[in-house]
Amino acid sequence: MLLEDGTLKKLSQGLYYYPKITAFGDSPPKEDQLVRSFLKDDRFLLTSPNTYNRLGIGTTQLYNKRTVYNHKRHGEFKLGTRIFDFRMKAHFPKQLTPEFLLVDLVNNLDALGEDKQLILKNVLDKAKNMNTKKLIKSISAYGSIKAKKVFEPLL
């Protein structure tokens, strides 16, 4: 009944939302609320390869995918019209930091459509200008073996 009259909208199996009506039509749910409902947990970190562009190290590609680090689910899921790549990780920060983003970029470099050599050079240059203590902490807590090798000259 609620679906038929448009009061509720179905996003995926077992996941519904009550749309807020705007001048442009129904507004979609906020991503963090959507992921929180899907996981039934609030321990997750929502990010995107697009956030690497904030670091100013030469990444230029735009991606239509969001990455969700969490403790419960893994795989790609379409929630409504958005695609989320859920990755189970033992450790991730509660908030995005520049240090975590830099380490995460190196962790995921092979999956990005970027010039790897140029990006790695720029990553090392950027790392020299960051808070060393925070960067070392991020590398040891979140870095893959590959990332630790890349950052080894700085440690």
- The pLDDT tens digits of the residues spanning 17-64 come to 567 777 777 777 788 988 998 899 999 999 999 999 999 999 888 888
Q: Domain of 63?
A: 9-145
Angle, helix 132-142 to helix 98-107, in steps of 10 degrees = 40
In a domain, 130, yes or no: yes
In a domain, 74, yes or no: yes
In a domain, 19, yes or no: yes
Number of domains in the chain: 1
pLDDT above 90 (res 2): no
In which residue are the tokens 């969700």 written?
A: 68
pLDDT above 70 (res 137): yes
pLDDT of amino acid 8: 65
Tell which residue, 98, 94, 78, has the closest CA to residue 86: 78
pLDDT digits (tens, 9 = 90+) for 68-90: 999 999 999 988 788 999 999 99
**What is the token pair recorded at 7?**
């009061």
pLDDT of amino acid 144: 95
Tell me the whole-structure pTM to 2 decimals: 0.84
